[in-house]
Structure 1
């Protein structure tokens, strides 16, 4: 069930499921909290799982101006407080991983453990690290006509054959809308400090077949965060939470280890 809470200047839409330590889920650039629908049931056995929509995404309402990455981190910090927690475990996927990094850097006391999936390190821009950034940007600008090709970047072909409806998952996107333009501007922002300054215990997860963020880019982050662990998921693409929710949940539970339970 969708709930809403005011966090500063933003009215955040969220869903809260399960009991236990707080685990906040941060979605990707074009997504909403709905991307975690298959993952939440596996995690809710062990955590109070909170999936929310960021600014200019889903049902969240905020000012009609482009936000910065710092704004999104501050939103998350105020949201955690508004939910009644001083700190939380945080899982961030793709651009959500950038938001999670920013939260860890700007509000380190708000994070217990950090899981970064299919993402790229602050402060470096996406275009600098991902060789196919131009082609991906062109596909995004070409929506909705390019929806089926864009889907092949986010999901391996074998998975799309099992879930053919996902070939049109981007068909409703309207890149020329004011909201989409604000979101694109937000995604392009960064911070001055970088991933090496993160102090939270961190797990880095990458999909072997990720075309959006090469797994080498994601996994290299583990070498820059003190004490970080890393996992490569075989035959998995960019959206791990949708393609392999049970496997991803097992790794998250193992790393967070709530009350010593096993996944």
Structure 2
């Protein structure tokens, strides 16, 4: 999905969402930026190949989309798994990525990565071969709804119609498996990210999250990968920041990209 006018900005969604994650944020960004929101490999209407779900390969996918649209230099913002893609995209395509924003996600390569994911049950569950696909099949709405609701703080912003869109996308052939493959490659992603840290990013980086999830940890986390990091927490917010606080996310991105 594309729209708007101005400097190019790529938006990368998380799990179990699609580009639709950004549908409340994009109208606020469109007066200022040429906004591009894609479905990641294995999600929505993007291809769902058997392999290539390491985040460096997914970053190359996203970079090629921007090149195909004529954007040789652009900003990238990723949430959740999208943040895990955005970081290698900035590290691998340093001449192309002008700004990086990462929203509410523990990153592979972070010094607290292993201790953190050990406390997140869904990482281990999704890494199992075939088991999640078999258990979720036919129950996509129930799983997505329960999963996302657990990670919202302000449930007045929780929209079952959005959940229906994400669940229908997951029920497309191969898409549940595609999303699980994002988790099954995380050991490789962690090893690759340790290498990125040897050459810290010099571009401006925005690190934000919900104050009830990863918000307080985002800035120190990103400072392990980059030298120019700003950001912080979004008050009274859970993990799905673009769904729960779209105005705050949009205003933070506008302020960051205009100032940097």
Same fold, judged at TM 0.5 (above): yes
Closer/same/farther in 2, CA of residues 245 and 195 from structure 1, 3 Å limit: farther
1:92 aligns with 2:78: yes
RMSD: 3.0
Q: Choose which of 30, 35, 39 in structure 1 pairs with 2:16.
A: 30
1:113 aligns with 2:113: no
Output the TM-score relative to the length of structure 2: 0.80
**Alignment-derived partner of residue 149 in structure 1:** 146
Greater Cα offset, 144-153 or 241-250 = 144-153
Structure-2 separation of matches of 1:176 and 1:57: 9
Structure-2 separation of matches of 1:70 and 1:158: 34
Post-superposition Cα deviations, 1:53-87, rounded to whole Å, max 9, x if no partner, equal 11111111253434321111111121111110111
Q: 1:151–1:170: 8 Å Cα contact kept in structure 2?
A: no
* Secondary structure of residue in 2 paired with 1:227: strand
> Post-superposition shift, 1:177?
6.4
Structure-2 separation of matches of 1:122 and 1:137: 15
- Structure 1 residue runs without a partner (length 5+): 1-14
- Structure 2 residue runs without a partner (length 5+): none
Structure-2 separation of matches of 1:135 and 1:236: 20
Structure-2 separation of matches of 1:247 and 1:21: 20
Q: 1:207–1:233: 8 Å Cα contact kept in structure 2?
A: yes
Structure-2 separation of matches of 1:237 and 1:85: 32
Output the TM-score relative to the length of structure 1: 0.79
Structure-2 separation of matches of 1:200 and 1:217: 20
Q: 2:13–2:79: 8 Å Cα contact kept in structure 1?
A: yes
* Secondary structure of residue in 2 paired with 1:108: coil
Count of matched residue positions in the alignment of Structure 1 and Structure 2: 241
**Alignment-derived partner of residue 207 in structure 1:** 210
Instruction: Specify which structure has the higher proportion of helix.
Output: 2
